[in-house]
Structure 1
Amino acid sequence: MSNTSALLDRPAARPSARPAARPSTAPSAADAGGRPVRHLRPLPQLVDPRSDAVAEPADAASSSKPNVAPRGFALYVGLDELKAAADGVSLPVLVDALRRTLAELAPSAETYAAVALAPQQTGGRDVDVVRLALHEPGAVARTKAAAEEQAEAAKGVVVDISRKRVVIDGESAALTFKEFELLQYLVLREGRTIERAELVASLWDASDEDAPGERTIDVHVRRLRSKLGAFQDIVRTVRGVGYRFDRHADVSVRYGAGAPSPDRF
């Protein structure tokens, strides 16, 4: 299979002119292997959620909507070439058998067959892959809704302690190691105001030439906040004292599957 689509578009063979057989009395058709093709039960009502278009079983088609009439039907078949081969048949043979059956039951019917192609690694049920590849309205609507839900869930800030990263609206923030350490120190002490002197003493060695003073720690906090963008207020300044991590509805913290950090207060 590939990413392109291939269409089988050739008219079904028409039998010689004769009265159309009714489904209840028509003889059973046979496929290429001589096996009988059973008549299908009526399909349940299908509704396109984006419009008023409706496909209904034949016995209910005339009574549902006064200004709408059935014009045909679509049958989605989930079956790849390997599974078909295991059943001793192929996709072209199945398409041809279905066309011959339809031509026998309804000689005036027009047919169009489309083969759905998708990448081999595509997961999910075969029939769902087919419906989406052929742009069936219900499948497209569900996929769009799922994507919008996933995008909505990705909004906000995730402070991932176990992986040492911060994700903002689904994108990793480019924090330096020390900036993450600073944020982590505040997160693990959520709700507690941390004095500047404690931050310096805890995150830098006394012998570190780059260690900031109590005042220059503000520069590091400003840099951290700038990378948090619209969520910079999660690092709150407590005037005259220090800084505090304030969580709100758009912020989540992941501590990992192990035991809580011993640093956590």
Structure 2
Amino acid sequence: MSNTALLPQPTAHRHLRAVEDLAPPTPAPALPAGTAPRGFALYVGIDEAKAVADGVSLSTIVEALRRTLGELAPHAETYATVALAPAGAGGRDVDVVRLALHEPSAVARSKQEPAEDRTPGGVTVDISRRRVHVDGEAAALTFKEFELLQYLVLREGRTIERTELVSSLWSSSDEEAPGERTIDVHVRRLRAKLGRYEDIVRTVRGSGYRFDRHADVEIHFGHGTPSPDRF
């Protein structure tokens, strides 16, 4: 017997070979004319709390998958991002993720929800159209005010320091790049336009600002909405 046969094989390879031995290859589904497969998306539904309960973190899972893919297909390119969804969103985790990342069939199903099931009034932040409505009325946010609100919304529940807001929302070439305290002025103006919902943008004393959601706040993530790159 060859010594090579006794060497342990990578786990991913062992699993693949076991599957190949047990089941015949599945025929590939027919593709629309004029198209060719360029890769695939694997939607993983698990939040930070569940990952911690399993003894891992989201970044640990991502790196493990990348290592496995590197063994199986060294030429594969990868990109991973975190899926943002409303806090307390119901349903299966993986379905929430598919909708947050704009998977076509999930988005199509969400558009079929009856209008009466949607909460009237309140604040609607439409990221894709760059619009904000307060109690049904359009809020006249400036470009920078919307950028500020969007930045906080996409990092819901995380305190953002003033220095990060300045460096992320103003480039060094901007003629009127603000100092850290000038951010406070922009936040005050933003809050004034949010009216009675101003406290969705909270001040964290000595740190910065945080976006908190109320039950009467809706966030519409349209096609192409940016997600924070965490991996």
TM-score, length basis structure 1: 0.41
Structure number with bigger Rg: 1
TM-score, length basis structure 2: 0.47
Higher relative contact order (CA 8 A, sep 6+): 2
Whichever structure has more helix as a proportion of its residues is: 2
